[in-house]
With several copies, the nearest count.
Chain A
Amino acid sequence: MTAIVTVRVQHEDFDTAAEIAALGKGRTDIGAIVSFSGLCRGNDHETPISALTLEHYPGMAEAEIMRHAEQAMARWPLQGLTVIHRFGRITPGENIVLVVTASSHRQAAFEAAEFLMDYLKTNAPFWKREETEDGGSWVEAKSHDDAAAARWTK
C-alpha cells in the first residue's frame, strides 16, 4: 500500500486524534503509530508566559518540512507521516506542533518522529516570541537542541 505524507503549516489548531486516525484508517499493515504533540507551556521560566507568538517564513517553512519528511520516508520504512506546525499567537495549553509516524515496526516509528522533532526545533524557519507581564522576548535557540539534531547526521 502507498505511504501518505502530509505537511501543513497553519494558524488553526489541529485535531491530534483525527490525524492519528487518518493514518491508520482502513489499513491492516500498520503495526505502530507514534504521535508527538508539542504544547505551549505557561511556566517556562520564573515569569509566567501569557502567550507565544510564532513567526514563520511562508513558503520556505512548508518546503523545508516537506524536504525533511521525505528524508524520513527514505530513511525509515514508514507507511505514513504527518507534520503540522502552527504559527501566530498560541496560548498556554494549546498545541504548537504535531508529528505522527506509522510503520510496521515500532523502532522506525519512534526514530522518525524524534528525527522530525529534532529537525523542527533547530532548522525549520519558525521563531518563538514569548509574551509576559513585563513585555516579551524572543526565545533563544538551545544548544542541546542542536546536539539532538546533530545525532542524525552520523
Chain B
Amino acid sequence: MKVKYFAWVRERIGKAEETIEPPADVRTVSELIAWLTAQGEGYAYAFEKPKVIRTAIDQTHVQPDTAISGAREIAFFPPMTGG
C-alpha cells in the first residue's frame, strides 16, 4: 500500500511517500503506526507521540482503531492548521 507523510511527519521521516508491505497481523491504523515506528530512527521520531498523529485512508479522516485492509493510500500528518 502507498503511504503519504505531510508537514513535520514528512520532514522527520525524510520522504513524502513510499510503498510499504506490513505483515498480515498489522490490522489497524494504530498497529500500522506501531509497526512504522520500528522501521528506523526517523519513523520513531515522527511517531513518538502517536496520539498527536492524524490519519486518512483513501483521503478520508479515520480513527486509530480503523481497519487498514483494502486501503490503497494511507496518509499520516500532524493536526491541521489551515484557514
Contacts and interface: CB of A to CB of B under 8 A. Distances in A.
A118 to B, nearest CB: 8
Nearest to B8: A138
Report which residue of B56, B80, B83 has the largest number of chain A beta carbons within 10 angstroms of its beta carbon: B83
Of the four ranges (under 10, 10 to 19, 20 to 34, 35 or more), the interface on chain B belongs to 10 to 19
B83 A126 contact: yes
Contacts of B60: 60
A81 B6 CA distance: 29
Contacts of B56: 57, 60, 125
Interface in B1-50: 4, 6-8, 10
Interface in A111-154: 117, 120-129, 138-141, 145
A63 B56 CA distance: 13
A33 interface: no
5 contacts: A56-B82, A64-B61, A121-B80, A126-B81, A138-B81
